[in-house]
Amino acid sequence: MAYFELDTTISAELTAMKKEISKFARKVMRPAGIELDKLADPADVYAKGSVLWDVMKTFRKMHLHALGIPKELGGLAGDTSDPKASGVLFEEIGYGDAGLAISLGGSNPFRLAAASPDPKLQQIARDYVNDMDCNLIGCWAITEPSRGSDWISGVRDSFDNPDCAPELRAELKGGEYILNGQKAAWVSNATIASHATVHVSIDPSKGMQGNGLAVVPLDLPGVRKGKPLDKVGQRPLNQGELFFEEVKIPKSFMVIDDPKKMQVAIKSIFTNANAGMGQVFVGLAQAAFDEALSYAKQRVQGGVPIFEHKNIKLQLFEMFTKVEAARAYARRMAAYNTLNPPGSLHHAIAAKVFSTRTAFEVASEALTIFGGNGLTREYPIEKMFRDAKASMIEDGENNVLSLMGSEDL
């Protein structure tokens, strides 16, 4: 159903963009996400002929993948002056399918390549902008089998315990870095990615304060990909392990090779990641609310649509209030961070925690309104419920994030 836009400050340009992306989210992403979710084998999600590729190619035909790439490299960064652009656009694709939204947003290595002065890396960014066949796909390789929340804690300068140094190490030899180690199965797009933004340990003696950041082509000798992860929620989102054995990259591909600069960068990275998650799951919360409202007006009990029962009306209005509060905060945070880089980390964390919690609570309430039907795959609400639950763990478990956010106060 059409969402009543309460924000009167959104530009005409962004309103037009939102309309087109809304069509894409509802007509392309939503049915594709439902179809992919039902596949028993996660490898079938990205198999040849999968509807996943239709989604990705349509996204690129709209040039949405180029929004974070500078214009001098063929991108569209800065094409809209509206500071609320990212919030509004991510809401829409989150409404379509949260897992696919995260997959589509995985352009980290190409944005990092674009920020480098190295001509080879800049060319990779150009090639990505021009790639309409989805041969170039990015992933953000940070989480490791025994290093999950340690990465979040590593934002603190005091977290320098050598025992907590990343498992993936990069050793400089001559004009090359040699990578050895592993990234965990939670790397989004890992199985289908061509390039990765890879967080590595340059100086293990400094724990999480001795890291660097590299762009790594995943077709290099020594790179191996694990099986796609089989999980409860966000099944359309491909995730898997990455293994690095004596992988050699040019020295220039270590875009951030100074651990002190990396500490500044990691804070900015987490700020942007949490902001994006907050925006995406406002979209899912809205989608769950819309499904519940529509169902309540159709389902008849006691001779009338259940919407006529006072308890259902109160339940729906409480859900509506939560969604509007999450949207207002996420947009306000996104606008501030856009205008004031690198932004406020604890405000971004608050948006991620609040929006994902809202999405889960609203999806849970929606499922109860559906009753027994909400437990079946005939309706999309049980999928939204599963997807929302996953959001409270991914990109930082909410309680751990909240502790980090409180320290940043």
CB under 8 Å, gap of 24 or more: what pairs does 364-368 form?
Answer: 364/388, 365/292, 365/315, 365/318, 365/319, 366/288, 366/289, 366/291, 366/292, 366/319, 368/315
> What secondary structure letter does DSSP report for 400?
H
- DSSP-derived secondary structure for 31-76: HHHHHHHT-SSGGGGGSTT-HHHHHHHHHHHTTGGGTTS-GGGT--
Cβ atoms within 10 Å, residue 148? 17
Torsional sign, CA 78, 107, 144, 180: negative
Torsional sign, CA 272, 244, 110, 93: negative
Which segments of the chain belong to CATH 1.20.140.10?
262-408
Which segments of the chain belong to CATH 1.10.540.10?
12-130
Determine the CATH number of domain 262-408. Answer: 1.20.140.10
Which segments of the chain belong to CATH 2.40.110.10?
138-258
CATH architecture of 12-130: Orthogonal Bundle (1.10)
What tokens were used for 106? 């995985």
Q: Which pLDDT belongs to residue 152?
A: 84
Computed over its alpha carbons, how large is the radius of gyration of the chain?
21
Q: What is the pLDDT along the chain (409 residues), one digit of tens a residue?
A: 557 888 888 888 889 999 999 999 999 999 999 999 999 999 999 999 999 999 999 999 999 999 889 999 999 886 666 888 888 889 999 999 999 999 999 889 999 999 999 999 999 999 999 999 999 999 999 999 988 888 888 888 888 889 999 999 999 999 999 999 999 999 999 999 999 999 999 999 999 999 999 999 999 999 999 999 999 999 999 999 999 999 999 999 999 999 999 999 999 999 999 999 999 999 999 999 999 999 999 999 999 999 999 999 999 999 999 999 999 999 999 999 989 999 999 999 999 999 999 999 999 999 999 999 999 999 999 999 999 999 999 999 999 999 999 988 8
Cβ atoms within 10 Å, residue 245? 13
Q: Which pLDDT belongs to residue 79?
A: 65
Q: What is the pTM of this model?
A: 0.95
Which H or E run includes 274?
A: helix 259-298
Q: Which pLDDT belongs to residue 310?
A: 97
Superfamily covering domain 138-258: Butyryl-CoA Dehydrogenase, subunit A, domain 2 (2.40.110.10)
